[in-house]
Structure 1
Amino acid sequence: MTLPAITFLIPAYNASGTLAQCIGSLRDQTFANWQAVIVDDGSIDDTFEVAKRLSAADARIAVFRQDNAGAAAARNHAASMAEAPFLCMLDADDWIESDFVDCMLPHASGGHSPIIAHCFYRRVTAAGVALPVEKAPDLTGDAAKREFSSYCALAIHTAVFPRSLFDELGGMDTRLATCEEWDLWLRMAFCGAKFRPVPKCLANYRMRSGSLSRDPMKLVRDAVAVITRAASLRQGDASAAADPHHLGPEISQVRMLAWVASVNAGGATDLPSLAALLPIFPNVAGYEAFLAEVTLHGLRTGLMVADEGEVLECIDDWIVPVAALFDYLEGRSMDDISQLTLVCEKMAAALKPNGYILTAHAHLRGDEPDRTGFDWSRPFGVATIKQTFESVPGLALEKTIETELYAIHLFRKGEAKRTSVSREEYGRPLQPTVAKFIVWGPGGMGRAAAWETETTTEIPVLMYHRIAEEGPATLLRYRTTAEDFRKQLQFLHRQGFYGLNSVQLGALLKDGKPVRGRPVLVTFDDAYADFATDAYPILEDNDFSADVFVVTAKVGGHSDWDRTYGEPAKLMDWDQIRALHSKGVSFGSHLATHRPASSLGGDMLAIEALESRCILERKLGAAVNSIALPYGIADFRVPSTLEKCGYEIAFTTRQAKVSLQDNRLSLPRLEVRGDRPLAEFATLLGLGGAFVG
């Protein structure tokens, strides 16, 4: 039997919807002597059944199955079953043109060194729109070593290469969750293989929502690993080490950080966490134009993945993260006005007459302390950057789009014209990972400033019950609207308060020393269901958490202790409580039945206190050492009883701030009443007259 000339390695994970088209493109080949090896990588849909049906209809298709181990392991598995001397890695959601094999094999054959033939390719959107043809950069000679040392310069399904070379290199590195093909091309380049272009578009890459949005942390982590390997290989290669055009590992890693962050800019990209993966964050001065190009390419790529109908809706999601990316890179490389001015002048000098510079930057509190802005520790924001660009000779500001959180400016190289200014909404609700850095409103004191300049011996513990719009009129005191609650938390953030939990408060009281900054503890009694639906999202948006005190025998039920005033409100169930606990919300006891401690005999008080604590610890899988007494009513027996039941901190409703001298088992709180004007909140915190809103 004649052996096949080429084997296609096809890893498949949950690919039942696309595998048939992929295999169909092989069946349409004008060259018939091929083999396809499909390895199902532990799919949970019917991919394996689809693959078996395709194999049953065509003897050239072999099908295998493995536990989920990743694409690299699946390709290695497929290669071990390959019968042909040449290989091509084809993903299960991509396809090739009918003359792919006929065109590629002649270029992959011959010569003394292994040859990797590679063609042009085209991206196809989720809606089926074919985008412009793309090709790899020049990879001839030592250029391949240079390019692959910096980024993945070759699309995976565009290459045909000798199986012997793949085997010699040990296949793909299964330690890499991403970037595994880049790592393979890199090692091929440094083992003497030659890359030969085939100037024809022969491959198609399907752009599915989610196909590029792999975990950004994994992408950056694996990119760092590949670039680090490249640096090691270059040290042992005289010609590569002497290449003056190589970016170097540090700039290459920043390049990948910029691209990954931009591709994923529509989601909650955590730039500091991504940047922390880089071994060294270099000064990128001189690479501004290059990094801007990389960022714009990533942004375009990320936008193309979205369904066409979603693109306009995505624009606002992309603007703030991309602006933040530029701010982040600038903040790491520039720390004074002279450096910023130099960069602006370089950008202006590179412009042709009537050329444009488009800037997008966030408003920063450090830059503009009297307005809403991000509390990021970066040197420059909208105000300084705009002013610096305006000071560059020959640049004129033509258009401004101003939002509450960021601004976009269009500068032109040429004569000044009238500047147009439009004001727009900043877009859809922001992700909590972004929203928590926003300080809303004018004035106030930043957390960092308060931490550096103030100490206190009194700590406010705020007491809430419900966050709700409606309920019995007689219970209005215990009900704060969501709008007022948001304004109150924005006030706390704006005035430099930072959140504590009861464990941290207990530790501060034990220490007995003055506390730095402006601490506050937010508490909620009764564990109403609206805490999960209405209160927690507002807390999260403003970078606070809370302690919630649970009536353990009533969980999942209603506040029947309020039934004489009207319809009892719903309480959280255990699933909601556990979910919030996993997000950092602290839970304590509100006894078991919501009866006042003074109405319980000594034994019954101990039983309720101990029972409620044990239930909470069993349900949460964590220690519970705090309690708030229902109605705040206590007598002389209570502190010693609670201590015997394992509690370390207990709250009443006595109206005062907690002082360092207070008994930890009888602490006061400040009730936030829903029937009081919003302005009284500032007075409650000792900041009467300060803006709340």
Structure 2
Amino acid sequence: MAHNPLVSIVVPAHNAEATLARALDCLLDQEIADWEAIIVDDASTDSTPAIIAGYEHDARFRTLRSCAHSAAAARNSGIATARGHWLMFLDADDWVDASFLAKMLAALKTAPDAVAAYCGSRRVMPDGELTPSSLLTEVAIQPFETFARRCAICTHALLVDRETIVELGGFDVSLRTCEGWDLWQCIARLGKNWVMVDEPLAFYRTSPNALSRNSTQMLADAEIVIARGFSADPRVKHPASAHANGAIEANGGSASEALAWFALWNAASECGSGARSIDPQSLRALPVARKWAREIARVVFDGLMAGSLSVPAQLAARWDRFGGAITELIIGLGKVWDSSVAARRVQYHLEQMLLEADDLAAPRSLARTLGLRVDARNPTSTKLPEGTDQIYAHLIMDGQIEAVVQFGALGTVTTDHWIELILDVVPPERLSDSAEALLSTAERRSDPDSHFGKLARLAAEAQELVRSSAEPAERLAAPRRKPAADGHANDRTSFWNRHFATENHWNYASPYEQEKYQRQLEILPAGPIGRALELACAEGHFTRQLAPRVGHLTATDISAVAIGRAGARCSDQPNVEFGVLDFAADTLPGGMDLIVCSEVLYYLDDLAELRRVAKKLVEALAPGGSFISAHAFVLRDNLERTGFDWNTFGAQAISETLAATEGLVLEQSIQTELYRIDRFRRLSPSDVATEPVIDHVPIHAPIEIGVARKIVWGGARALRRDVARSERRQRIPVLMYHSVSDDGPAALARFRLTPAAFASQMTWLRANGFHAINSEQLEGCIANRQPFVGRPVLITFDDGFQNFDDHAWPILRKNDLTAEVFLVTDLMGESAWWDAEIGPPTPLMGAGTVRRLAGEGAFFGSHMATHRAIDGLSSSDLAAELLRSRMFIERWTGRPTTAFAAPFSVTDRRLGRLAKECGYRIGFGGRHGPAGLDCDLIDLPRIEIRGDRSLDDFVAIVEAVLK
């Protein structure tokens, strides 16, 4: 009984005298011997039959004759006589590694249910050079969805189950090309596993006469294969249910997109070979979104390699052969997209790929990029070829690459420009003696055609545009001068006189204060009140309301300034007399029926002084007289309840101290979440204390921002002053927000928080001891490597939506936080056009709003002028946007603008240096994570806070930074 080999290898050969021996020899080299090779001579007229005959002494080689003039038909002939469990298809001009069978069979042994195993492959160019490995992991993950769209592996890079091939009928002989792709698609439709071997074990010889270089035929056949992939295929009798009706667009794009990707590769291949036969209209379905730009460039790069018969390291040097054609193709693609920015982005990506693979042995002048070597110790001026606006350079020292730099160039890169750049990127110790020589020759020249000359021209144009705009300029705020010391700056009287230097410092007429006054009047003892004493009467606002309720009122304050204003306010009250009195140090008038003391006892030095004052109060009261105290709850007394974040004791400690004072008893208390008003009574000898009446009441009055920002609602887990004393850290969270609104398109939910969700996050930050900083403060710490004190957080908002002012800013202020908003300056007062395809675009703040918010403590930076992703802008346009945006923000805010955030978080290698040259010192790009002292200031990371995440997620993100 004949032995059936483990693997049958089908080798179609037609006039393959130049390559066949290499293909057959690789089989003899295999580490596993259990195989048969079926060589199908397809009407060869050269010495191919003789070469085949030379191998027939090995019984594992069998020969068939065919006149099909078709690789597909020849393979089918071989399949019909094959006996192995597994099939391999090896073309006569290709070969595999000696370990191919062993490694592929080992992989299949680990997955008994697999229908095929595949490996990586490398192209072999006519000069023998090899391309990098090509291997798609997607085949192992979702084989059918992959093969429905693309030919993901080369013909000889797999072992496949023979019975499955026979059941499917083998290769489709009606296809001149793409027949392998078509068969792999049929196999994948069965829904069985494919096993990946992560090594390039297959080698594919690229030939100028290969059928794959016939783009017209390739596209015609690919269109058939892709159409089959997106519909039912009657050839597959038992498809997996998920694949019965074809591929699903949501799993990788539409059929038209798949054909456009294939057309792109063929178009690039045609350009590489010197032809220009593909209409850019066939590329219309390619995605224009910026996230696809690099992939489009990669496909073009791969097509160029195949078409030009070049490996990556050779492409840039051969630019003159295909550069014009490929640039024309990309420009045409931009016209199809109606986006020159998107096309330029692809061009930049492609040129970077070409130059990264090149050794720059000679200058490489591409369409927009000049690649060259520069002697780091002796640089010379570089004039830009026409159309070039960026440089990719190897800085050479001692014959070796010391650094690689890429930067935007607007004009000639002068010697001093190179020196400046070299000193910035090459460590001084590497330059040694050359550093001093470079420094001595470096001087910025005013050549109008140089990079800096043209940058200066753009700056002047931007300045003129800002100057001629209708928006008024905000004057730079004059620095506040501290009052001159008077020799008594630290005594209590001087302290209060400074407070009262500004009239109505506490906004006594606010609804919040007036509601508190009304409740103090409500708690007055019943019956007539003869003599009353008001301590710390301030400017007499409550005095005026209290006077009608008592017979005689003595109103006092430590500040003569305050007493003067109080006297004027109450000049029509005949029963009021005023006097300057330091109640902590001076003797209090006695025999009082009522003493009122509001919002001042926490200014005493400590509880010991409070106890002394309490005894004085008892002595000043007549027996049965009342003392009314109105004070706020302070977190220092109790972190677990709402309170003001002041560095002092508060209402709880004051009430407890007064209650513990001999001779005083609490009669009534009105308590809100923020403050309590207590009425104590001095006991007479015969009095018996009774249980006090406690009334819990809500606060109805609105709380103004100056008060609200000091409140921590629900208590605190940490106080700012405590963590400032105890914590130093190397990194902080920089939070990135976009929109705060209840409404908006569902597709943008990730970028939108509800006001309630944003409020809960800010409340959490406040309760956990965080304080907000701005980018300038962040820059200072990083530049000086100075550890961050306490728990700083930088809160940023991209785009400058109007809902920042409507919703986010009031919440921030209420929690004593601020934020930095990055503005799209050309669109102020308009709307976010970049989201228009998703839903109604969100309104943007106007310049007047920005001016007001800046005055209220918000900070602003640049989000460029137009919100176009910067990697598609020319270097000149990028510089113009950087300059114009900065200058407008400075005009609106009256403050220097030194920070930017890249739109869409997209950056490239030009941005950082160009931004610095345009006056920026700090930038936020696409990196995610906390900002640390070791970060690059011009490319700092941020943490995106998503609207589709919970408060617990937010807490976990921020707490992870603290660890």
- Give the CA deviation at 1:297: 5.2
Amino acid at match of 2:658: F
Change (3 A) 1:480 1:410: same
Q: Alpha-carbon deviations, 1:226-258, whole Å to 9, x = none? A: xx9xxxxxxxxxxxxxxxxxxx99599879959
Task: Tell me which residue corresponds to 1:182.
Answer: none
Equivalent of residue 397 in structure 1, options 666, 690, 693: 666
Contact 2:740 2:752 in 1 (8 A): yes
Runs of at least 5 residues in structure 2 that lack an aligned partner in the other structure: 1-482, 514-531, 549-565, 567-595
Contact 1:539 1:545 in 2 (8 A): yes
Structure 1 position 355 matched with structure 2 position 355 = no
Secondary structure of the structure 2 residue equivalent to 1:352 = strand
- Distance, in Å, in 2 between the alignment partners of 1:652 and 1:255 is 46
Structure 1 position 637 matched with structure 2 position 910 = yes
- Distance, in Å, in 2 between the alignment partners of 1:258 and 1:606 is 48
Equivalent of residue 365 in structure 1, options 635, 647, 671: 635
Q: Alpha-carbon deviations, 1:589-628, whole Å to 9, x = none? A: 1112211122223333223222322332344443211110
Contact 2:668 2:679 in 1 (8 A): yes
- Give the CA deviation at 1:345: 2.4
Change (3 A) 1:578 1:343: same
Amino acid at match of 1:337: L
Amino acid at match of 2:813: E
Q: Alpha-carbon deviations, 1:269-292, whole Å to 9, x = none? A: 99xxxxxxxxxxxxxxxxxx8552
CA RMSD after TM alignment: 3.6
Q: Alpha-carbon deviations, 1:453-498, whole Å to 9, x = none? A: 0101102111111111111111111111222222222222221111
Task: Tell me which residue corresponds to 2:652.
Answer: 383
- Distance, in Å, in 1 between the alignment partners of 2:640 and 2:492 is 41
Contact 1:529 1:572 in 2 (8 A): yes
- Distance, in Å, in 1 between the alignment partners of 2:680 and 2:885 is 64
- Distance, in Å, in 1 between the alignment partners of 2:840 and 2:787 is 45
Contact 2:672 2:697 in 1 (8 A): yes
Contact 2:795 2:820 in 1 (8 A): yes
Task: Tell me which residue corresponds to 1:82.
Answer: none
Equivalent of residue 828 in structure 2, options 545, 555, 560: 555
- Distance, in Å, in 2 between the alignment partners of 1:592 and 1:297 is 53
Structure 1 position 525 matched with structure 2 position 795 = no
Change (3 A) 1:525 1:260: closer
- Distance, in Å, in 2 between the alignment partners of 1:396 and 1:429 is 33
Structure 1 position 670 matched with structure 2 position 943 = yes
Task: Tell me which residue corresponds to 1:594.
Answer: 867
- Give the CA deviation at 1:294: 4.0
Secondary structure of the structure 2 residue equivalent to 1:425 = coil
Structure 1 position 330 matched with structure 2 position 601 = yes
Equivalent of residue 701 in structure 2, options 428, 435, 439: 428
- Distance, in Å, in 2 between the alignment partners of 1:455 and 1:506 is 17
- Give the CA deviation at 1:400: 1.9
- Distance, in Å, in 2 between the alignment partners of 1:356 and 1:259 is 32
Equivalent of residue 410 in structure 1, options 660, 676, 679: 679
Amino acid at match of 2:629: T
Q: Alpha-carbon deviations, 1:188-245, whole Å to 9, x = none? A: xxxxxxxxxxxxxxxxxxxxxxxxxxxxxxxxx9xxx9xx9xxxxxxxxxxxxxxxxx
Task: Tell me which residue corresponds to 2:611.
Answer: 341
Amino acid at match of 1:392: T
- Give the CA deviation at 1:267: 4.0
Amino acid at match of 1:428: A
Change (3 A) 1:662 1:252: closer
- Distance, in Å, in 2 between the alignment partners of 1:598 and 1:262 is 52
- Distance, in Å, in 2 between the alignment partners of 1:357 and 1:328 is 14
- Structure possessing the higher radius of gyration over alpha carbons: 2
Task: Tell me which residue corresponds to 1:611.
Answer: 884
- Give the CA deviation at 1:641: 2.2
Runs of at least 5 residues in structure 1 that lack an aligned partner in the other structure: 1-220, 229-247, 271-288, 306-324
Q: Report the TM-score when normalising by structure 1.
A: 0.54
Equivalent of residue 542 in structure 2, options 259, 282, 299: 299
Task: Tell me which residue corresponds to 1:265.
Answer: 508
Contact 2:733 2:961 in 1 (8 A): no
Amino acid at match of 1:381: G
Task: Tell me which residue corresponds to 1:536.
Answer: 809
Q: Alpha-carbon deviations, 1:2-36, whole Å to 9, x = none? A: xxxxxxxxxxxxxxxxxxxxxxxxxxxxxxxxxxx
Contact 2:862 2:885 in 1 (8 A): yes
Contact 2:635 2:715 in 1 (8 A): no
- Distance, in Å, in 2 between the alignment partners of 1:592 and 1:262 is 41
Change (3 A) 1:581 1:264: closer
Q: Report the TM-score when normalising by structure 2.
A: 0.39
- Distance, in Å, in 1 between the alignment partners of 2:898 and 2:539 is 52
Secondary structure of the structure 2 residue equivalent to 1:686 = helix
- Give the CA deviation at 1:327: 6.8
Q: What does 1:620-635 correspond to in 2, within 5 Å?
A: 620-635=893-908
Task: Tell me which residue corresponds to 2:719.
Answer: 446
Equivalent of residue 484 in structure 1, options 757, 777, 781: 757
- Distance, in Å, in 1 between the alignment partners of 2:499 and 2:953 is 50
Q: What does 1:212-223 correspond to in 2, within 5 Å?
A: none
Task: Tell me which residue corresponds to 2:370.
Answer: none
Change (3 A) 1:262 1:386: farther
Aligned length: 408
Q: Alpha-carbon deviations, 1:52-81, whole Å to 9, x = none? A: xxxxxxxxxxxxxxxxxxxxxxxxxxxxxx
- Distance, in Å, in 2 between the alignment partners of 1:672 and 1:293 is 47
- Distance, in Å, in 2 between the alignment partners of 1:681 and 1:262 is 38
- Give the CA deviation at 1:668: 0.6
Contact 1:255 1:291 in 2 (8 A): no
- Distance, in Å, in 2 between the alignment partners of 1:346 and 1:397 is 17
- Give the CA deviation at 1:296: 9.8
Q: Alpha-carbon deviations, 1:302-360, whole Å to 9, x = none? A: 6899xxxxxxxxxxxxxxxxxxx95764344x323332222222222333343322211
Contact 1:680 1:688 in 2 (8 A): no
- Give the CA deviation at 1:375: 1.2
- Distance, in Å, in 2 between the alignment partners of 1:651 and 1:446 is 29
Q: Alpha-carbon deviations, 1:139-187, whole Å to 9, x = none? A: xxxxxxxxxxxxxxxxxxxxxxxxxxxxxxxxxxxxxxxxxxxxxxxxx
- Distance, in Å, in 2 between the alignment partners of 1:449 and 1:530 is 34
Secondary structure of the structure 1 residue equivalent to 2:854 = helix
- Give the CA deviation at 1:407: 0.8
Q: Alpha-carbon deviations, 1:108-139, whole Å to 9, x = none? A: xxxxxxxxxxxxxxxxxxxxxxxxxxxxxxxx
Change (3 A) 1:262 1:617: closer
Change (3 A) 1:418 1:475: same
